[in-house]
Amino acid sequence: MTYLTAENFETEALKSPLPVLIDFYADWCGPCKMIAPAIEALDTEYDDRVKVCKVNIDEQMALAQMYGVTSIPTLIILKDGQEADKVIGFIPKETIAAKLDAVLV
């Protein structure tokens, strides 16, 4: 799993040859902690097909603002550097997987 910062965002996320799942989170966020195991599992399951990344909004406020993140967790899927999907709040792993599958076709 890659932790994104303002310094590596363009290289790691926008220019990634793979679709990118970005988890915008904070350490103090209960729903973020609840969704974390699903994000980690998807990182393993989609290892060679999707790049899974995390953005700590307390440390990377500019990235959160760039994508209009006002509630967390927020999951954004980028494909070819463009936002392909966005989900706000806790959702089951299967729902996230279905959204990843949709951008892989």
**Crossing angle for the helix pair 30-45 and 93-104, to the nearest 10 degrees:** 50
How far, in Å, CA of 57 to CA of 72, rounded? 9
From the candidates 4, 20, 32, 53, give the one annotated as an active-site residue. Answer: 32
How far, in Å, CA of 10 to CA of 32, rounded? 24
From the candidates 29, 52, 64, 76, give the one annotated as an active-site residue. Answer: 29
Q: Is 29 a catalytic residue?
A: yes
Helix, strand, or coil here: 24?
strand
Contact 48, 87 (CB under 8 A): no
How far, in Å, CA of 22 to CA of 55, rounded? 7
Active site residues: 29, 32
